[in-house]
Amino acid sequence: MKNLALIFTAVVLSACGGTNDDGSSKSTYSSCKITKSEALFAEDRDQDLKQCWNAAGKGYESQGDALQWCERQVNSYIASRYVVGHTVQYMVESTNCKS
């Protein structure tokens, strides 16, 4: 019974690894993107929703680290583009940004 449990554990763990279709790792957070914008003008909202950043290297193993990095990217973008900021929502993903 113990051997069966070890085999099952090995199969489950091997299923968690691997790569996505874009070559990024399934087990790391590779990108950050804005998913919602409350900018006043439609053009600004559209521009915000086009923003996506790829993490350096293989990405982040920790979701917390990935979210901190993502928040810095988003804050830097908003500060460089707008005099008065606005609310945006963002998320991290295991895949790279789509072109």
CA dist 44 and 12 (Å) reads 44
> CA torsion angle for 43, 49, 50, 54 (degrees, to 10)?
150
Cα-atom radius of gyration of the chain, to the nearest Å? 18
pLDDT at 19: 83
The predicted-structure confidence for 23-70, as pLDDT tens digits, reads as follows: 788 899 999 999 999 999 999 999 999 999 999 999 999 999 999 999
99 vs 26, more confident: 26
Residue ranges per structural domain of the chain:
20-93
What rounded mean pLDDT belongs to the chain? 86
pLDDT at 1: 44
SS3 60: strand
* Separation in Å, CA 30 to CA 13, 33, 82: 20, 10, 26
pLDDT at 4: 35
> Is residue 76 scored above 90 in pLDDT?
yes
Strands 88-93 and 52-54: unpaired
pLDDT at 42: 98
* Separation in Å, CA 84 to CA 4, 11, 31, 46, 63: 60, 52, 26, 17, 29
pLDDT at 88: 98
Q: Residue 8 is encoded by which pair of tokens?
A: 């099952």
pLDDT at 9: 31
